[in-house]
Amino acid sequence: MAHTYNAIFIHYVFSTKDRKDTIPKELQEKLEAYLFGIASNLRIKTLAVGGTANHVHLLLGLPPTVTVAEAVQKLKANSSRWLGDHGLSFQWQEGYGAFSVSPSLLSDVQTYIRNQEEHHRNRSFDEEFRAILDKSGVVYDADQLFAA
């Protein structure tokens, strides 16, 4: 075959250090645009970005040349630097979640990511992340889930 074809869609979730509300409301939309730009520079297709003051969700279509870990490392490092350039003492939590998404569910995940503010009226980030892990069948130690 002369060409490479792929359909690798990943739902990323990562939080601020200690899940503190350190992303100001007035920077959230700009941060989302900045994350979109980072992904675009890496030739990653951004399907949705959303979040709150303490975490971010991204739905990305990865090219075959970019690994799951490489994408999140570059997104977190560059966005952390950008937030620092805006006068914030800022850090992302060390880990992250990365969940594969079937092409048939892309629309549902996009809607979910774009409505983060609404979702978090009724449940915390911790509750949301546990629910995503459970739904994805990821085994985890509840006592260590949010350890530094």
147 found inside a domain: no
Residue with tokens 């002369």: 2
Q: What is the CATH number of the domain that holds 123?
A: 3.30.70.1290
pTM for the predicted model, two decimal places:
0.94
Q: What are the counts of helices (DSSP H) followed by strands (DSSP E) for the chain?
A: 5, 4
Range of the domain at 18: 8-136
Query: In a structure prediction context, what are the per-residue pLDDT tens digits for the chain, which is 148 residues long?
Result: 778 899 999 999 999 999 999 999 999 999 999 999 999 999 999 999 999 999 999 999 999 999 999 999 999 999 999 999 999 999 999 999 999 999 999 999 999 999 998 888 889 999 999 999 999 999 999 998 987 6
The pLDDT, as a whole number, for residue 139 is 94
* Helix residue spans in the chain (DSSP H): 25-41, 68-85, 106-114, 116-119, 125-136
Residue 25 bridge partners (DSSP) = none
Task: State the total domains in the chain.
Answer: 1
| 121, part of any domain | yes
Residue 146 is assigned to a structural domain of this protein: no
Residue 19 located in a structural domain: yes
CA distance 105 to 96: 21
